[in-house]
Amino acid sequence: MEKATIESFKSTFDRANVGCVITKGDRIISTGHNQIRKSRLKSNHFEGSLHAEMDAVMKLIKSGRIKELNGSTMFVSRSMKKGGTGLAMPCELCFPIIQAMKIKRIVFSTATGYSEIKV
Ligand SMILES: [Zn+2]
């Protein structure tokens, strides 16, 4: 979970800094952070952003390692500008993809610690 928080510091998105780490057994298989797609910099549309979860998932898909997601655990952490963490429960766009990729468990930060969902 700490590694997901460290990953969130890489985010330059002004509204939210979210980091994601995907593990299988005790091995980290991918990391990601939220970002604005360069082609959409001039627009403020939500669709122009890439969520941390999808950044981490896409890295595995692009490198032909999609099968490794089966049975994996996803850690998502949102760091707040004032310090501490915020709620990082995967959104309604990311969740169905997480399900489809057969990720079995999601651990996400909250304002007071963390919580988890069994997928
Ligand atoms: Zn999302």
Element spanning 54, H or E: helix 52-62
Q: Please give the distance, rounded to the nearest whole angstrom, from the Cα atom of residue 90 to the centre of ligand 1.
A: 5
Task: For Cα atoms 88, 53, 115, give the angle at the middle one, nearest 5 degrees.
Answer: 35
Taking the whole predicted model, whether its pTM rises above 0.85 is answered as: yes
pLDDT of res. 42: 54
pLDDT digits (tens, 9 = 90+) for 57-84: 999 999 999 999 999 999 999 999 888 9
Q: Please give the distance, rounded to the nearest whole angstrom, from the Cα atom of residue 25 to the centre of ligand 1.
A: 24
| Confidence at 94, pLDDT banded by 50, 70, 90 | very high
CA dihedral angle for residue 80, residue 81, residue 82, residue 88, rounded to 10 degrees: -10
Q: Please give the distance, rounded to the nearest whole angstrom, from the Cα atom of residue 18 to the centre of ligand 1.
A: 10
What type of residue is 36?
I
pLDDT digits (tens, 9 = 90+) for 21-59: 999 999 999 999 998 765 555 555 445 678 999 999 999
Q: Please give the distance, rounded to the nearest whole angstrom, from the Cα atom of residue 27 to the centre of ligand 1.
A: 23
Query: For residues 24 and 3, is the Cβ–Cβ distance under 8 A?
Result: no
Q: Please give the distance, rounded to the nearest whole angstrom, from the Cα atom of residue 53 to the centre of ligand 1.
A: 6
